[in-house]
Chains A and B, each alone.
Chain A
Amino acid sequence: MSSTLAIFRRELVARRDLLLVAAAAAVIAILMPLLPGLGAYDPADVRDVSSSALALALGWGLAIGLGAAIFGSDLSAGRLGFFFARPVKGLAVWVGRSAAALALVFATEVLVVLPALLGGGSAGSSLGVADGWPLAIAFLGVPVLLFLAAHAASVMVRARTAWLFLDLVGIVVAGVVGWVTLRPLLWMGAESASWVIAGALLAALVFALVTGGAVATVAGRCDLRRTHAALSITLWSVLAVTIGAVGAYAGWLQSFKPADVDRVELLSVSPTGEWVEAFGSAPGRLDVRCRFLISTTDDRWLALPHQALWSWKTIVFSIDGRHAAWLAQGRGEEPRAIRYVALDGLELETVSTKILVPPGTGFELSPDGTQMAFVEDEILSVYELTGERLVTAVRLPEDLHGSTMFFLDGDTIRLYGRASEREGHAIRIADVRVPSGEIVRTGEIAGPPDRFWTAFDSGVENMVIGWRAEGPDHGMRNMYNARSGEFIRTLAGGFPYLLSNGRMATLREEDDGREWLIVESLDGAQHTEYDLGVGVEAKLGGEALPGELVVLRLADPSVWSEGRRADLIDLDAGSWRPVAVGVDRVRAGFRWMSGAIGTSFWFVDQPAADRLLTDRTGALVRWDPDTGDLIHIVGGRN
């Protein structure tokens, strides 16, 4: 028998009385349902829960106790001399004793849980924990970590040499580095990557503790002070290397280029369609998503800062598509600085400004991208970007506080606010002149519902309000004049796509599954219907060519996996022509805004943007109407 095995056996036999405690606990767990006050519960459940809880409590407690005893107190009491006076390797002593301690811990857990398991229970479900990984971690992983940590801690505390300073510093630094490594992944909502990195950090810790403990015993032998020195040196140097490796890996996970991306999630498109903002995931990077600004016409790109998942906002493009701006990262309640980039140049250079926007507040760019504006409660501020100069700050009246706001043109900002309850929550419409700051009220919409969405056409001439209320009014859609608020008419049919040339398109599905495309003029005078087929799950793209609307339908309704086909319908002639097969829509063609009147979106004439599609492989592609090719932009590896 090898000496490691002999030591393992000896230690196990010497401590086998602990298993009696485990047996007693198992008995207690079995008898638990008999306790007064627990009669109301299902006895099997009570047994399951109490045996699992006792098993964990006993196992974890034993892990800590044994960890502290067999190398801390035994060492300082001189009891290790017995082993070192025998012809056994120092490593055999450490491995044998540690393995025996852990075997006891696991045996204890099994013993306590056994009666309940035999009775048909499940250790995991009784704790509200899924069987599998979390169970293994609780019953196996945690005790190992507790044992090793108690082992190290007891040596450090008992020896009390100067190395304790290094230990304290090491603990703090390791904790900080670990948190700094993990936080961005948690922040960006990369769940799987977070688990992997957290697991890797713990594995690094366990590895360092194992190495440290073993080296400490082999090098320190019976001398407590030398053991501590060896432990500290080994533990922190190994941990530095391993955590460094994990940190490097975590960093690698988060640094990739558009060329590496396979899965693309489009966030926003510039009005000219020349640039897209998108999340990209890359193979081998788990579920980490990086945010990019990617050119659809050449291979220029810019990495955008990671944002916390819960405070995330898209990029703002100027209407001429030549500027993009966003908010820098910030912490908590700090205001964020504006950063922008000119999209024309060969090299994209981010410019940081000192213009600060409160967190959670959106901003808008002027059509030529030279100015930006935002509303914070009662103040509307307009800045000039390049000079970082405040152009005007306007104090808004109460019904315009927190308005939904955007630039109509370079000199005018349109505001939509909400009046008080007393005034029926009417939507108040006003224009603000820049730079004078003069407020001009243009109208109001009376009697809107409490919750609704708004849609504007590209010229901001018409707006649609859709009811989001409980009750019979839910789903009602009304069209109003976007400037005066005058009611125009109620719309029938589905969600309205406000197209150019005063046209509107909606989809309608009948009871038999047949789907129709309805194109009508905004005043309702012209009305054309197109039969799209049965069960085709039609979706509308945008006006990829002026006057021509993209319609996406399932190629073969009976074979869903075939994907969709895109066709272009000429809204004047009523003729169809094919675009591509095996493609899908991307969300382009409108922008989101938020403010006093809730979530609104604004349809912008952006034919170039409307020619963006995703192909079968999930890549973002651009349809070239001249050649009919789908030109690859980003993503789509298999």
Chain B
Amino acid sequence: MNDRAVVELDGLTVRYGRLTAVDNVSLVVPNGLVYALLGRNGSGKSSTVRCLLGQRRASAGGARIFGLDAWRDRRRVMARVGVVPENPDVPPTTTAERVERFMVSVTPRWNGQEFFSRLEGFGVPRRQRFDRLSKGQQRQFALALALSSSPDLLILDDPTLGLDAVARRDLYEELIGDLADRGTTVFLTTHDLAGIEGIADRVGVLQDGSLLVDEPVETLKARFCRLIWSETPEVSSERIDAGLQHLDVIASGAAGGATGAVVGGFSEIGFGRFRQEAPVEVTWIEPLSLEEIFIALCGDERGGRS
């Protein structure tokens, strides 16, 4: 076990009856890292987060935070963790003032001043009922709640879901500010791939409960790209396919006279071998955004021809 690991999933498996929602997932989030867990709906993200929050017991394997078991030691863990859940679960009729009074007696390291000043920055009145705030304000409320206890780990479950562009920007700014000030470790799940592209250090992709990818954003972006070349009759499609194997092709297809392929294993050496097998003229090597990489990995067809 890594001493510096803040979050550690070790063969985590979650089963609901006969359905396996999370299948033997292992990953490590070291101190100070921003980790983004991605996946389509139903891929097992929520179950993973619930295990981390100590709200659900793993069927097999373990989830550890600060080296403590997330289920058994939930109380000790939560003293150092800030949580922004997918659906804000602050009691609907509660106000910021009342929540603050509650948090004082319950959370060590709670800073009420910081909480109120964060809320003030977003124009959230102290005496307003939680269910009368806008969606964006509710998320900011939840984030302020999580941040004001100086957590060592932030767990955000789809924090920008349903927010408009302005609210999203505000949320990210708040998060980045905290990262700049305290270097908090962050574990988040999201569908806003463009938004976290610049923020996440490391990314994991879940599909049908299994972890497809678990690597730094930089290396992921380095090995994924789109090749576009012009077809020549001398080079057959079989040779092209054979060449593309060196680059771990994801999908290939034609578009307006030119032909292209999305590859997941791009390297200089591999590219050289491709050129040897299929000496076509490559007009473009295009980098892919995180969103495009995700779609390539988790889209309906993988390795098929469009």
Direct contact of A and B (CB under 8 A): yes
Q: Looking across the interface, which residue of chain A has its beta carbon closest to that of B94?
A: A14
Question: Which of B83-91, B114-122, B159-167, B207-215 is the contact stretch?
Answer: B83-91
Give A86 to B103 CA distance when docked, in angstroms. Answer: 9
The answer to whether B105 and A14 have CB atoms under 8 Å apart is no
Contact of A521 with B by CB under 8 A: no
Known: A14-B91, A85-B83. A221 touches B108 (CB 8 A): no
Q: How large is the interface on B (under 10, 10 to 19, 20 to 34, 35 or more residues)?
A: 20 to 34
Within 8 A of A (CB), among B66-107: 74-79, 81, 83, 85, 87, 89-94, 98, 101-103, 105-107
Give A10 to B107 CA distance when docked, in angstroms. Answer: 14
The answer to whether B89 and A14 have CB atoms under 8 Å apart is no
The answer to whether A87 and B87 have CB atoms under 8 Å apart is no
Contact of B230 with A by CB under 8 A: no
Question: Which of A1-9, A604-612, A629-637 is the contact stretch?
Answer: A1-9
Which of chain B's residues have a CB closer than 8 A to the CB of A3? 105-106
Known: A6-B105, A78-B87, A78-B89. A84 touches B74 (CB 8 A): yes
Contact of A130 with B by CB under 8 A: no
A5 CB, min distance to chain B CBs, angstroms = 7
Q: Looking across the interface, which residue of chain A has its beta carbon closest to that of B85?
A: A81
Which of chain A's residues have a CB closer than 8 A to the CB of B106? 3, 6-7, 86-88
Contact of B221 with A by CB under 8 A: no
Q: Looking across the interface, which residue of chain A has its beta carbon closest to that of B95?
A: A14
Name the contact of A222 in the complex, choosing from B50, B103, B108 (C-beta under 8 A): B50
Give A85 to B103 CA distance when docked, in angstroms. Answer: 11
Known: A14-B91, A87-B78. A6 touches B102 (CB 8 A): yes
Contact of B56 with A by CB under 8 A: yes
Which of chain B's residues have a CB closer than 8 A to the CB of A82? 89-91
The answer to whether A84 and B55 have CB atoms under 8 Å apart is yes
Contact digits for A409-431, partner B, Cβ 8 Å, 1 yes 0 no: 00000000000000000000000
| Size of A's binding interface in residues, CB under 8 A | 24
Which of chain A's residues have a CB closer than 8 A to the CB of B105? 1, 3, 5-6, 9
Give A80 to B55 CA distance when docked, in angstroms. Answer: 10
B72 CB, min distance to chain A CBs, angstroms = 11
A240 CB, min distance to chain B CBs, angstroms = 26
Which of chain B's residues have a CB closer than 8 A to the CB of A84? 53-55, 74, 78
B134 CB, min distance to chain A CBs, angstroms = 19
Contact of A89 with B by CB under 8 A: yes
Within 8 A of B (CB), among A295-343: none
Contact of A356 with B by CB under 8 A: no
Q: Looking across the interface, which residue of chain A has its beta carbon closest to that of B87?
A: A78
Give A112 to B55 CA distance when docked, in angstroms. Answer: 40
Q: Looking across the interface, which residue of chain A has its beta carbon closest to that of B77?
A: A87
The answer to whether B55 and A221 have CB atoms under 8 Å apart is yes
Contact digits for B284-299, partner A, Cβ 8 Å, 1 yes 0 no: 0000000000000000
Which of chain A's residues have a CB closer than 8 A to the CB of B90? 82
A57 CB, min distance to chain B CBs, angstroms = 24
Within 8 A of A (CB), among B260-285: none
Known: A13-B98, A14-B94. A223 touches B78 (CB 8 A): no
B147 CB, min distance to chain A CBs, angstroms = 13
Q: Looking across the interface, which residue of chain A has its beta carbon closest to that of B81?
A: A85
Which of chain A's residues have a CB closer than 8 A to the CB of B83? 85
Taking each of A1, A13, A81, which has the highest tally of chain B beta carbons within 10 Å of its own beta carbon?
A81
A14 CB, min distance to chain B CBs, angstroms = 6
Give A84 to B81 CA distance when docked, in angstroms. Answer: 12
The answer to whether A10 and B102 have CB atoms under 8 Å apart is yes
Taking each of A9, A82, A85, A223, which has the highest tally of chain B beta carbons within 10 Å of its own beta carbon?
A85
Contact of A79 with B by CB under 8 A: yes
The answer to whether B55 and A223 have CB atoms under 8 Å apart is yes
Contact digits for A81-106, partner B, Cβ 8 Å, 1 yes 0 no: 11011111100000000000000000
Q: Looking across the interface, which residue of chain B has its beta carbon closest to that of A13?
A: B98
Known: A84-B55, A86-B107, A221-B54. A10 touches B98 (CB 8 A): yes
Give A81 to B142 CA distance when docked, in angstroms. Answer: 12
Which of chain B's residues have a CB closer than 8 A to the CB of A13? 98
Q: Looking across the interface, which residue of chain B has its beta carbon closest to that of A221?
A: B55
Name the contact of B98 in the complex, choosing from A14, A85, A221, A226 (C-beta under 8 A): A14
Give A384 to B105 CA distance when docked, in angstroms. Answer: 85
The answer to whether B75 and A87 have CB atoms under 8 Å apart is yes
Give A223 to B50 CA distance when docked, in angstroms. Answer: 9
Q: Looking across the interface, which residue of chain A has its beta carbon closest to that of B83?
A: A85
A78 CB, min distance to chain B CBs, angstroms = 6
Which of chain B's residues have a CB closer than 8 A to the CB of A88? 75, 78, 106
Which of chain A's residues have a CB closer than 8 A to the CB of B108? 87
Within 8 A of B (CB), among A1-49: 1, 3, 5-7, 9-10, 13-14
Within 8 A of B (CB), among A158-177: none
A383 CB, min distance to chain B CBs, angstroms = 66
A74 CB, min distance to chain B CBs, angstroms = 9
Which of chain A's residues have a CB closer than 8 A to the CB of B78? 84-88
Give A78 to B83 CA distance when docked, in angstroms. Answer: 14
Taking each of B78, B89, B91, B94, which has the highest tally of chain A beta carbons within 10 Å of its own beta carbon?
B89
Q: Looking across the interface, which residue of chain A has its beta carbon closest to that of B157?
A: A81
Which of chain B's residues have a CB closer than 8 A to the CB of A80? 89
Taking each of B50, B57, B76, B105, which has the highest tally of chain A beta carbons within 10 Å of its own beta carbon?
B105
B87 CB, min distance to chain A CBs, angstroms = 6
A75 CB, min distance to chain B CBs, angstroms = 11
Which of chain B's residues have a CB closer than 8 A to the CB of A1? 105
The answer to whether A87 and B55 have CB atoms under 8 Å apart is no
Contact digits for B18-32, partner A, Cβ 8 Å, 1 yes 0 no: 000000000000000
Give A222 to B105 CA distance when docked, in angstroms. Answer: 22
Contact digits for A447-491, partner B, Cβ 8 Å, 1 yes 0 no: 000000000000000000000000000000000000000000000
A156 CB, min distance to chain B CBs, angstroms = 19
Q: Looking across the interface, which residue of chain B has its beta carbon closest to that of A15?
A: B93
Which of chain B's residues have a CB closer than 8 A to the CB of A78? 85, 87, 89
Name the contact of A223 in the complex, choosing from B56, B89, B94 (C-beta under 8 A): B56
Q: Looking across the interface, which residue of chain B has its beta carbon closest to that of A81?
A: B89
A529 CB, min distance to chain B CBs, angstroms = 92
B112 CB, min distance to chain A CBs, angstroms = 14
The answer to whether A85 and B102 have CB atoms under 8 Å apart is no
Give A150 to B90 CA distance when docked, in angstroms. Answer: 24
Give A3 to B94 CA distance when docked, in angstroms. Answer: 18
Give A97 to B123 CA distance when docked, in angstroms. Answer: 31
Known: A85-B53, A87-B108, A88-B106. A14 touches B76 (CB 8 A): no
Give A7 to B79 CA distance when docked, in angstroms. Answer: 16
Which of chain B's residues have a CB closer than 8 A to the CB of A14? 91, 93-94, 98
Name the contact of A79 in the complex, choosing from B54, B57, B89, B98 (C-beta under 8 A): B89
Which of chain A's residues have a CB closer than 8 A to the CB of B75? 87-89
Give A610 to B222 CA distance when docked, in angstroms. Answer: 115
Q: Looking across the interface, which residue of chain B has its beta carbon closest to that of A162?
A: B17
Give A509 to B94 CA distance when docked, in angstroms. Answer: 84
Give A198 to B54 CA distance when docked, in angstroms. Answer: 41
Give A79 to B93 CA distance when docked, in angstroms. Answer: 12
The answer to whether A87 and B76 have CB atoms under 8 Å apart is yes
Can you list 13 A-B pairs with a CB-CB distance of less than 8 A? A9-B102, A82-B91, A85-B85, A85-B89, A87-B78, A88-B75, A88-B106, A221-B54, A222-B55, A223-B50, A223-B56, A226-B56, A226-B57
A-B interface, 10 closest residue pairs, ranked by CB to CB distance from nearest:
A6-B105, A87-B79, A85-B83, A222-B55, A1-B105, A81-B89, A87-B78, A82-B89, A10-B102, A221-B55
Supply 6 further A-B pairs (C-beta < 8 A) apart from A10-B94, A14-B91, A82-B90: A3-B106, A13-B98, A85-B78, A85-B81, A223-B56, A226-B57
